[in-house]
């Protein structure tokens, strides 16, 4: 009976929140009889069918200097995936600050495109790192560390090893897929490569304001072909995060009680449907969206019992859409999902009792600051419970 009621509730939410079915890039004008395998698959995903997640794996990883890596487009990405997994996964099993920055920087690169400004460029083109000024924009604060890692990886594979097909545009979106699946419980998003780089600066004022009102943010995303449902699915990535640049007086405070874990607790805590510890900081725009008539249902749908599966699927579909904004050669792209790390489908933090104590205290000095740092680095919290007395 409970399962039946859950299904009725889910259907009601889905009917209230339809997903976008708009096509993008060259798929808008290409007839279906001219679509490649990738073009057909992506067209299905953009129009609401097909599975946006995949557990297909490649167990064959030749040397990066082998002839095979010269003929198989995904071979080099297998090596890059391993490098990124090592960068993003903490010894606690949680994902770390580099993974969180990777998801964010991929959005900030792609999200600079809109239907109204498409003639000005922007989108998933690598310009957030390759342009002379985008990383200095205030909205891009807090991502310089992962940008530096990406530059090193790009230089190694694109320059030193001569893989000219490895673009910064792909590295950013591929990195987001790796980061998402490295975070425990995160989806394994189907992932394509073949984007073209640009060093031209993207248009301004196309990313959401963390203090923005819900109506303005909804309109901003709809102009990117992302529906209110898609917006809330993407917003859920805040489940892993610890903010530094929205409220400077609360550095390292998380957006839900399980930072570094890709669970749906974020939706319930932002909505206020469960008790929320003092240290959990709700980004003002997130709170505004949680209470808005158009988007509240999304928080309810994803935060419900069993909502994780629906959220992961919707996030994967919207992440694919996001990573194709401004891309006009979708039909020639290559799917490389098979080289992504495996998903972690079950997880519990062995140090959650210590984290729970930290969450109840609003001290940002001494041992309390140490806990924040351990969590950001993906480490097990290495302080005693006695030191965390409130």
**Binding-site residue set for Ca(2+):** 109, 123, 125, 127, 239, 256, 258, 263
What φ, ψ does residue 151 adopt, rounded to 5°?
-65, -40
Q: Torsion angle of alpha carbons 106, 312, 84, 74, nearest 10°? A: -90
* Angle (CA) 179 185 188, round 5°: 55
CA dist 165 → 71, 85, 162 (Å):
11, 21, 9
Backbone Cα Rg of the chain = 20
What φ, ψ does residue 335 adopt, rounded to 5°?
-80, 130
d(CA 262, CA 26): 33
d(CA 143, CA 376): 13
Binding-site residue positions: 109, 123, 125, 127, 238-239, 256, 258, 263
Q: Tokens 């000005």 map to which residue?
A: 120
Which residues, 6 or more positions from 314, have their beta carbon under 8 angstroms from its beta carbon? 19, 229, 230, 233, 302
Binding-site residue positions for heme b: 238
Which residues are 253's β-sheet partners?
243
| Catalytic hit among 108, 158, 282, 292 | 108
Task: Establish whether 79 is a catalytic residue.
Answer: no
Question: Which residues are catalytically annotated?
Answer: 108
């Amino acid at each position: 009976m409970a399962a039946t009621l859950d299904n009725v509730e889910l259907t009601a939410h889905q009917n209230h929140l339809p997903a976008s079915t708009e096509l993008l890039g060259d798929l808008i004008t290409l007839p279906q009889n001219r679509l490649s395998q990738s073009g057909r698959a992506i067209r299905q995903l953009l129009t609401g069918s097909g599975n946006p997640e995949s557990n297909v794996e490649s167990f064959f990883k030749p040397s990066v200097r082998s002839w095979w890596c010269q003929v198989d487009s995904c071979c080099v990405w297998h090596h890059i995936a391993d490098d990124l997994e090592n960068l993003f996964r903490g010894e606690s099993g949680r994902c770390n600050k580099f993974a969180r920055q990777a998801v964010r920087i991929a959005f900030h690169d792609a999200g600079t495109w809109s239907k109204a400004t498409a003639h000005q460029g922007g989108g998933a083109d690598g310009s957030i790192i390759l342009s002379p000024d985008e990383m200095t924009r205030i909205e891009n604060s807090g991502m310089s560390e992962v940008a530096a890692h990406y530059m090193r990886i790009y230089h190694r594979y694109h320059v030193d090893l001569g893989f000219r097909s490895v673009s910064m545009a792909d590295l950013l979106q591929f990195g987001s897929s790796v980061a998402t699946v490295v975070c425990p419980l995160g989806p394994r998003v189907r992932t394509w490569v073949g984007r073209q780089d640009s060093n031209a600066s993207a248009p301004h004022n196309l990313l959401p304001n963390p203090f923005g009102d819900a109506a303005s943010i909804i309109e901003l995303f709809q102009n990117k072909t992302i529906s209110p449902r898609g917006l809330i699915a993407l917003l859920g990535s805040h489940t892993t995060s610890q903010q530094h640049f929205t409220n400077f007086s609360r550095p390292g405070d998380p957006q839900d009680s399980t930072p570094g874990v890709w669970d749906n607790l974020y939706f319930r805590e932002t909505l206020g449907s469960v008790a929320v510890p003092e240290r959990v900081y709700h980004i003002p725009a997130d709170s505004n969206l949680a209470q808005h008539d158009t988007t509240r249902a999304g928080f309810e749908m994803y935060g419900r019992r069993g909502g994780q599966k629906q959220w992961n699927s919707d996030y994967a579909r919207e992440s694919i859409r996001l990573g194709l904004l401004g891309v006009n050669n979708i039909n020639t792209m290559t799917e490389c999902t098979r080289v992504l790390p495996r998903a972690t489908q079950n997880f519990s933090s062995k140090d959650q009792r210590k984290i729970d104590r930290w969450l109840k205290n609003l001290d940002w000095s001494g041992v309390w600051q140490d806990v924040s740092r351990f969590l950001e680095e993906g480490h097990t919290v290495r302080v005693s419970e006695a030191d965390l007395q409130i």
